[in-house]
């Protein structure tokens, strides 16, 4: 048995906790004076022994349940012998009904194994329409689970979208050949409309296999509001509906002590540049008591007494890589150096300010779903790990479901014994 996440096995040290609680809860026997022992029955002695036996059995069951839960967290896998002859073909669901790919799959041998590159790796059915399954899979997560297949060699047909590459490059003991289908389709569509006090700004996306670009333009006509007033209808037939987001004035409050006037000027200039770039009004205040500010800036050598809201706090750090870095808690950011003409330009201070304001969250979320950029085949190969035995490659079968069933059975037994003990 091997584990996908062996680090969690350190949690087995927690088994000492219920054992310590059990031993600590043992109370000293109390002396009770009685007149005669003739009325005491031998069954009382047998009942006492039964209770002690049940206590130790309950302790054992509870420790075993905790141990199995830790094993579940570590993702147990059973090592079996792989099949070095058979090749398994895996197809991303969004490609399963492509005519070109269907022709290739039909030309394979009748006994060839074709599965979907999705959770569980189900068998591919020629008569099933998979075009509705457009969700991009997590390629790295599925690549790590490919060791559960019995075939030694695998061929994966995939779109290889960049947004599906997440987390650390996995390790695998399989020979995996990635076949990336070239996406020639160019996606060009509007994302969202941003409205301020003067005009409406239309944000659109243009994406293909090589790059994704966000375009912004001010529009004065060619659209109409929906009845609810939360969307725009574009085009001659008004058949394109785009969500409308109102751009309210951003309120920035500067709390500046004497000696930090230079930083104050740089901040005001940066917010003016952001206002022109976003087409959104930004109002910079000083020492305001308003609670509805979008960002509070603390330029002082004194410690901050309150942290409600979003704060940018001056905290010099010579080891910091950026001028603005996240703080210890959410909505707290640190200005890691005093501002000067060199670091504000070279480290793109204005862009970092834009990042903490969070004004493009809606645009970023929509653009991520429509990103069509693809990875190259060379960048898709997981880290190959040679098996310990050269003659046969290991196939890892996930046994988490069996362990979960055993945990459920033990928990039921623990409840029954606990109820019997109370009786």
Q: Indicate whether 14 pLDDT > 90.
A: no
Question: Do 255 and 349 share a structural domain?
Answer: yes
Element (H, E) at 311: strand 311-314
Whether the Cβ atoms of residue 267 and residue 296 lie closer than 8 Å to each other: no
- What is the spatial distance between Cα 124 and Cα 269, in angstroms, rounded to a whole number? 59
Q: Tokens in use for 17?
A: 């906790």
User: DSSP character for 238?
Assistant: -
pLDDT of residue 339: 92
Cβ neighbours of residue 188 closer than 8 Å, sequence gap 6 or more: 204, 205, 206, 207
Question: Do 60 and 109 share a structural domain?
Answer: no
Question: Do 175 and 91 share a structural domain?
Answer: yes
pLDDT of residue 251: 92
Question: Do 87 and 161 share a structural domain?
Answer: yes
Q: At what angle do helices 261-278 and 349-357 cross, to 10 degrees?
A: 70
Of the ranges 90-104, 287-301, 363-377, 379-393, which one carries the lowest mean pLDDT score? 379-393
pLDDT of residue 254: 93
In a domain, 365, yes or no: no
Number of domains within the chain: 4
Side-chain-side CA neighbours of residue 380 (13 Å): 25
Question: Do 345 and 261 share a structural domain?
Answer: yes
Question: Do 257 and 340 share a structural domain?
Answer: yes
Higher pLDDT, 28 or 101: 101
* Model confidence band, residue 52 (pLDDT cutoffs 50, 70, 90): low
Q: Indicate whether 81 pLDDT > 70.
A: no
- What is the spatial distance between Cα 193 and Cα 362, in angstroms, rounded to a whole number? 10
Question: Do 67 and 168 share a structural domain?
Answer: no
- Helix H segments across 189-337? 261-278
Question: Do 318 and 288 share a structural domain?
Answer: yes
Q: Indicate whether 47 pLDDT > 60.
A: no
pLDDT of residue 322: 92
Q: Which tens digit of pLDDT belongs to each residue from 18-36?
A: 778 777 765 555 666 665 5
Q: Tokens in use for 223?
A: 């659209």
pLDDT of residue 67: 87
Q: Indicate whether 349 pLDDT > 60.
A: yes
- What is the spatial distance between Cα 156 and Cα 117, in angstroms, rounded to a whole number? 7
Bridge pairing between strands 171-172 and 113-116: unpaired
In a domain, 369, yes or no: no
Q: At what angle do helices 16-24 and 42-73 cross, to 10 degrees?
A: 160
| SS3 label, residue 325 | strand
Quick one: which of 64, 63, 126, 134 has its CA closest to 92? 134
Question: Do 343 and 243 share a structural domain?
Answer: no
Higher pLDDT, 232 or 2: 232
Q: Indicate whether 83 pLDDT > 70.
A: no
User: DSSP character for 421?
Assistant: H
State CA 412 to chain mean position distance.
Answer: 33
pLDDT of residue 391: 45
- What is the mean predicted confidence (pLDDT) over 182-202? 79
pLDDT of residue 330: 87
Question: Do 209 and 240 share a structural domain?
Answer: yes
Q: Is 322 left (phi over 0), alpha (psi -120 to 50) or beta?
A: beta
In a domain, 125, yes or no: yes
* Model confidence band, residue 323 (pLDDT cutoffs 50, 70, 90): very high
pLDDT of residue 102: 74
In a domain, 138, yes or no: yes
- What is the spatial distance between Cα 415 and Cα 218, in angstroms, rounded to a whole number? 67
pLDDT of residue 21: 76
pLDDT of residue 215: 87
- What is the spatial distance between Cα 188 and Cα 159, in angstroms, rounded to a whole number? 19
In a domain, 364, yes or no: no
* Burial profile 375-400: b = 16 or more Cβ within 10 angstroms, e = fewer: beeeebebeeeeeeeeeebbbbebbe
Q: Tokens in use for 369?
A: 């779903």
In a domain, 340, yes or no: yes
| SS3 label, residue 48 | helix
pLDDT of residue 63: 85
Q: Please provide the average confidence, as pLDDT, over all residues in the chain.
A: 81
Domain of residue 216, residue span:
187-247
Question: Do 230 and 199 share a structural domain?
Answer: yes
In a domain, 29, yes or no: no
> pTM for the complete prediction?
0.56
Handedness of CA 405, 410, 416, 422 (dihedral sign): negative
pLDDT of residue 94: 83
Quick one: which of 148, 149, 115, 150 has its CA closest to 130? 115
* Model confidence band, residue 43 (pLDDT cutoffs 50, 70, 90): very low
Whether the Cβ atoms of residue 154 and residue 87 lie closer than 8 Å to each other: yes
| Distant-in-sequence contacts of 379-383, Cβ < 8 A, 24+ apart | 380/139, 380/158, 380/160, 380/178, 380/180, 381/176, 381/178, 382/140, 382/143, 382/144, 382/169, 382/170, 382/171, 382/172, 382/176, 383/169, 383/170, 383/171, 383/172
Of the ranges 107-111, 265-269, 353-357, 387-391, which one carries the lowest mean pLDDT score? 387-391
Question: DSSP for 182-204?
Answer: P----EEEEEEEEE-SS-EEEEE
* Model confidence band, residue 73 (pLDDT cutoffs 50, 70, 90): confident
pLDDT of residue 186: 78
Q: Indicate whether 346 pLDDT > 70.
A: yes
Q: Indicate whether 268 pLDDT > 80.
A: yes
In a domain, 30, yes or no: no
- What is the spatial distance between Cα 394 and Cα 78, in angstroms, rounded to a whole number? 9
Cβ neighbours of residue 10 closer than 8 Å, sequence gap 6 or more: none
Higher pLDDT, 323 or 234: 323
Q: Indicate whether 201 pLDDT > 50.
A: yes
Question: Do 355 and 275 share a structural domain?
Answer: yes
């Amino acid at each position: 048995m091997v584990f996908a996440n062996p680090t969690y096995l350190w949690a087995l040290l927690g088994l000492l906790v219920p054992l310590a609680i059990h031993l600590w809860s043992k109370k000293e026997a109390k002396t009770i004076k009685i007149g005669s022992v003739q009325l005491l029955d031998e069954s009382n002695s047998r009942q006492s022994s039964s209770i002690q036996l049940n206590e130790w059995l309950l302790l054992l069951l509870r420790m075993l349940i905790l141990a199995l839960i830790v094993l579940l967290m570590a993702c147990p896998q059973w090592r079996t012998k792989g099949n070095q002859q058979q090749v398994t073909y895996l197809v991303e669901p969004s490609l399963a009904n492509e005519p070109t790919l269907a022709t290739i799959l039909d030309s394979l041998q009748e006994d060839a194994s074709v599965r979907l590159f999705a959770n569980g790796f189900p068998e591919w059915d020629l008569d099933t329409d998979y075009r509705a399954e457009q969700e991009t899979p997590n390629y790295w997560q599925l690549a790590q689970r490919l060791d559960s297949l019995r075939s030694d060699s695998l061929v994966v047909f995939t779109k290889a979208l960049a947004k599906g590459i997440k987390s650390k490059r996995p390790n695998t003991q399989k020979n995996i050949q990635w076949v990336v289908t070239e996406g020639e389709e160019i996606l060009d569509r509007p994302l969202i409309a941003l409205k301020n006090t003067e005009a409406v700004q239309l944000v659109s996306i243009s994406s293909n296999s090589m790059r994704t670009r966000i375009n912004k333009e001010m529009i004065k006509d060619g659209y109409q509001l929906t009845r609810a007033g939360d969307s725009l209808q574009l085009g001659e037939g008004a058949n394109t509906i785009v969500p409308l987001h109102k751009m309210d004035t951003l309120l920035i409050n500067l709390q500046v002590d004497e000696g930090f006037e230079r930083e104050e000027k740089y901040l005001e200039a940066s917010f003016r540049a952001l206002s022109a770039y976003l087409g959104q009004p930004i109002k910079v205040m000083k020492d305001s008591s308003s609670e509805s500010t979008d960002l509070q800036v603390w330029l002082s050598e004194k410690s901050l007494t309150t942290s409600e809201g979003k704060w940018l706090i001056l905290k010099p750090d010579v080891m910091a890589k950026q001028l603005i870095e996240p703080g210890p808690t959410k909505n707290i950011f640190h200005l890691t150096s005093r501002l000067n003409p060199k670091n504000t330009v070279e480290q793109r201070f204005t862009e970092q300010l834009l990042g903490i304001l969070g004004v493009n969250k809606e645009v970023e979320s929509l653009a991520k779903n429509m990103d069509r950029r693809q990875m190259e085949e060379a960048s898709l190969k997981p880290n190959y790990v040679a098996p310990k035995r050269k003659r046969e490659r290991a196939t890892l079968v996930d046994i988490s479901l069996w362990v979960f069933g055993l945990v459920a059975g033990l928990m039921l037994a623990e409840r029954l014994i606990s109820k019997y003990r109370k009786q």
